Amino acid sequence: MFHRAHFEFIRDTVGLDRLIRSVDYPYLTLDGTRSFLDGLSLDSEEKHKITHGNAEKLFRL
């Protein structure tokens, strides 16, 4: 599900503050995740939010 259009639709619909990167293991793997995230036009704060910042806030970690 590493499609830029899909990501942009979700970002525009729910916003970056409500996105958490995840994987449906064992059906999907993390292969390609880093290159996909690096290819998006996100600054470091936005990447921080979706990779772990939003999860830390949600789960009060």
User: Comparing C-alpha atoms, which of 52, 53, 21, 25 is closest to residue 37?
Assistant: 21
Beta carbons within 10 angstroms of residue 49's beta carbon: 21
pLDDT in tens, 10-60: 999 999 999 998 878 788 788 888 899 999 999 999 999 999 999 999 999
pLDDT in tens, 45-57: 999 999 999 999 9
Q: Which long-range contacts (C-beta less than 8 Å, at least 24 apart) are formed by 52-59?
A: 54/16, 54/17, 54/18, 54/19, 54/20, 55/20, 58/20
